[in-house]
């Protein structure tokens, strides 16, 4: 993977790996050096859909006792059928051999019986993206699982600290997501990327109540299955999907507002080094503009995440996109690309675009870029 990668980018990514390990929660709530994971022997994945199957495969192959829980017998048989399809595909790509497949067939337990989770150390729920459903599930599991069990959620967008106001004529009642547990400090986001058995990147998300022990346990579990966990704060869509959202939004604009054809946008982006492009472009002129239009708002969104305290370092955003999205490694990731091209240039371009579309949320300019723009203007005076 590192072939042809410039030395500077290699060092930068090695530094990102180190920074990812040195996680810390705000307000002295604990960090990597003073927090201990609970010992994990048994992991349960709830929901055997796209994500749950990939997550369960990862834990089972790493030697954990792995229990996958589905809704009903029909869902169990769908899950088993889909797993067989995955095993066959992975064998074709030589990522799974016969002995590993047999290990999965023999050891991965698939059940509808939640009571089998009594001794489970870590739950990773991957049921539908529905807050009410996830809360009901955690309420049920809290009565079954042992007190030390950590509750991971693979949600890609739901707010760990969501407050629901239940109206009544006399009082409003506020209910937080984690409050459904007897001990809300045990809830932690463990956001795998699809396909979860292959992609090495994981976002670990802390909410207002998440304990450092829950974070340490999530990190330990991810490391054991050879993933790279990165700690991020709780906000809509977290970090990876926030940047991805603006990228996809820009590609839509290229099509609908600037008249580019989808296959051309794709070709430009793949020529830039991505494994796949979002869409396409009609004109072979001005390709760099196209790339900047897609990528500069991601740099901005990354700075916003850092300024909001959602994530600590630019490197960590970059490693997410290299491992999680197939970002062309030679450019070092979105934030490094912005630095290499010059953040003054990124700032000036985005400020111009924001003046053209002042109400577009994509162009809410990060302070870091505003300052870079100011510095650039002052140096010209
Ligand atoms: N698909 C992705 O690319 C992706 C990526 C990252 C995170 N996520 C998140 O992962 C979660 C799962 O997504 P998915 O794409 O795997 O969904 P999916 O629809 O493929 O699978 C969900 C599974 O959960 C099962 N389920 C529902 N309620 C259940 C219950 N009460 N008990 C046990 N099983 C139950 C369903 O039968 C289904 O098999 C969501 O929160 C989603 O936002 C998805």
Secondary structure (DSSP) of 43-62: EEEE--SHHHHHHHHHHHHT
Domain span at residue 272 reads 240-309+312-380
**CA-closest residue to ligand 1 atom 32:** 71
Residue 220 shares a structural domain with residue 270: no
Distance CA 26, CA 208 (A): 10
Whether residues 224 and 280 share a domain: the answer is no
Tell me, using a 6 A CB cutoff, whether residue 44 lines ligand 1: no
Determine the atom of ligand 1 nearest the C-alpha atom of 130.
41
pLDDT cut 90: percent of the chain above it: 62
DSSP structure string for 139-206: HHHHHHS-TT-EEEE--SS--TT-EEEE--SS--EEEEGGGGSSSGGGEEEEEE-SSTTT--EEEEE-
Backbone angles phi, psi at 84, to 5 degrees: -60, -40
Q: List, in sequence order, every residue forming a beta bridge with 229; answer none if it has no partner.
A: 202
89 lies in the same domain as 174: yes
Q: Is residue 5 part of a domain?
A: no
Do 200 and 287 share a domain, yes or no?
Answer: no
Verify whether ligand 1 is closer than 6 Å to residue 75 (CB atom). Answer: yes
Nearest CA to ligand 1 atom 8: 156
Distance 181 CA to ligand 1 centre (A): 21
Instruction: Specify whether 249 is located in the same domain as 211.
Output: no
Q: What is the pLDDT of residue 171?
A: 43
Do residue 62 and residue 107 come from a single domain?
A: yes
Tokens at 42, concatenated: 């048994």
Report the pLDDT value the prediction gives residue 249, as an integer from 0 to 100.
Answer: 83
pLDDT of residue 146 exceeding 60, the answer is: yes
pLDDT of residue 278: 67
The residue whose CA is least distant from atom 27 of ligand 1 is 127
Higher pLDDT, 130 or 88: 88
Question: Does 170 or 110 have the greater pLDDT score?
Answer: 110
* pLDDT attached to residue 279: 56
**Whether residue 58 has its Cβ less than 6 Å from ligand 1:** no
pLDDT in tens, 190-236: 999 989 999 999 999 999 999 999 999 999 999 999 999 999 999 88
Q: What's residue 241's pLDDT? A: 87
Q: Answer whether 195 contacts ligand 1 (Cβ < 6 A).
A: no
Residue 342 within a domain? yes
Mutational test site, ligand 1, from 45, 46, 52, max ligand atoms within 8 Å of CB: 52
pLDDT computed for residue 85 by the predictor: 92
Same-domain pairing of 197 and 301: no
Check pLDDT > 50 for residue 61: yes
The answer on 365 and 349 residing in a single domain is yes
pLDDT of residue 172 exceeding 50: no
Residue 330 lies in a domain: yes
CA torsion, ordered 65, 52, 128, 155, to nearest 10 deg = 90
Is 47 near ligand 1, meaning CB less than 6 Å away?
A: yes
pLDDT 10s digits, 240-279: 989 988 888 888 888 888 888 888 888 888 888 887 776 5
Question: What's the rounded mean pLDDT across residues 47-69?
Answer: 97
Before 236, cis peptide (omega within 30)?
no
Q: Are residues 213 and 259 part of one domain?
A: no
**The domain spanning residue 160 has which CATH number?**
3.40.50.720
pLDDT digits (tens, 9 = 90+) for 278-294: 653 333 334 458 788 88
How confident is the model over 63-82, as pLDDT tens digits? 999 999 999 999 999 999 99
**Average pLDDT, whole number, for the chain?**
88
The CB of 185 under 6 Å from ligand 1? The reply is no
d(CA 310, CA 204): 11
- 228 shares its domain with 246: no
pLDDT at residue 353 is higher than 50: yes
Q: Which of 70, 73, 81, 126 to mutate to test the pocket of ligand 1 (most atoms within 8 A of CB)?
A: 126
Instruction: Examine residue 8 and state whether it is found in any structural domain, yes or no.
Output: no
Give per-residue pLDDT as tens, 292-324: 888 999 999 999 999 999 999 999 999 999 998
The whole-number pLDDT of residue 4 equals 83
Residue 155 Cα, ligand 1 centroid: separation in angstroms? 9
pLDDT at 83: 96
Distance, CA 127 to ligand 1 centroid (Å)?
Answer: 4
Can you tell me the distance from the alpha carbon of 358 to that of 12, in angstroms, rounded to the nearest whole number?
A: 35
CATH number at residue 334: 1.10.1040.50
Give the per-residue pLDDT at 283: 37
pLDDT at 380: 53
For a pLDDT cut of 70, what percent of the chain falls above it? 91
Is ligand 1 within 6 A of the CB of residue 155?
yes
Q: Are residues 66 and 188 in the same domain?
A: yes
Q: Is 201 in the pocket of ligand 1 (CB under 6 A)?
A: no
Residue 20 lies in a domain: no
In a domain, 146, yes or no: yes
Choosing from 70, 128, 139, 187 the residue with most ligand 1 atoms within 8 A of its CB, the one to mutate for a pocket test is 128
Three-state DSSP state, 111: strand
Question: Strand 150-153 vs strand 187-192: parallel, antiparallel, or unpaired?
Answer: parallel
13 occurs within a structural domain: no
What's the domain count of the chain?
A: 2
307 lines ligand 1 (CB under 6 A): no
Is 4 among the domain residues? no
Domain end position, chosen among 204, 232, 260: 232
Q: What angle do CA 72, 75, 81 make, to 5 degrees?
A: 145
Same domain, 87 and 172: yes
Q: Is residue 163 over pLDDT 60?
A: no
The CA angle 11-95-218, to the nearest 5 degrees, is 60
Q: How confident is the model at residue 361 (pLDDT cuts 50, 70, 90)?
A: confident
Is the model more confident about 252 or about 12? 12
């Amino acid at each position: 993977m590192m072939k042809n990668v410039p030395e500077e980018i290699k060092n930068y990514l090695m530094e990102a790996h180190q920074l990812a390990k040195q996680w810390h929660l705000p307000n002295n709530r604990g960090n990597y050096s003073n927090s201990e994971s609970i010992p994990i022997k048994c992991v349960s994945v709830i929901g055997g859909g796209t994500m749950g199957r990939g997550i369960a495969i990862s834990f089972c192959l790493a030697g954990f006792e792995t229990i996958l829980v589905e809704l009903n017998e029909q869902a169990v048989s769908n899950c088993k059928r889909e797993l067989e399809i995955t095993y066959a595909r992975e064998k074709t790509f030589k990522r799974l051999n016969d002995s590993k497949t047999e290990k999965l067939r023999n050891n991965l337990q698939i059940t509808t019986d939640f009571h089998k989770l009594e001794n489970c150390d870590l739950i990773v729920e991957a049921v539908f993206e529905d807050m009410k459903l996830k809360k009901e599930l955690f309420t049920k599991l809290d009565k079954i699982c042992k007190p030390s069990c950590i509750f991971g959620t693979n949600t890609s967008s739901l707010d760990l600290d969501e407050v629901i106001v239940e109206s009544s004529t006399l009082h409003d009642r506020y209910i937080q997501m984690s409050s459904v547990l007897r001990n809300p400090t045990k809830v932690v986001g463990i956001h795998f990327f699809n396909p979860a058995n292959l992609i090495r990147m994981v976002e670990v998300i802390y909410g207002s109540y998440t304990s450092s022990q829950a974070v340490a346990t999530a990190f330990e579990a991810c490391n054991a299955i050879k993933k790279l966990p990165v700690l991020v704060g709780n906000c809509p869509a977290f970090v990876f999907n926030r940047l991805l959202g603006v990228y996809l939004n820009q590609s839509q604009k290229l099509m609908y507002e600037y008249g580019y054809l989808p296959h051309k946008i794709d070709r430009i982006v793949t020529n830039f080094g991505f494994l796949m492009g979002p869409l396409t472009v009609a004109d072979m002129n001005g390709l760099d503009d196209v790339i900047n239009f897609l990528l500069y708002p991601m740099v901005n969104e990354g700075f916003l995440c850092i300024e909001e305290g959602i994530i600590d370092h630019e490197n960590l955003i970059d490693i997410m996109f290299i491992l999680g999205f197939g970002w062309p490694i030679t450019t070092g990731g979105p934030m490094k690309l912005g630095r290499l091209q010059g953040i003054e240039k990124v700032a000036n371009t985005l400020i111009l675009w924001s003046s053209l579309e002042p109400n577009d949320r994509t162009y809410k300019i990060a302070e870091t870029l505003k300052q870079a723009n100011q510095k650039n203007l002052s140096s010209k005076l």
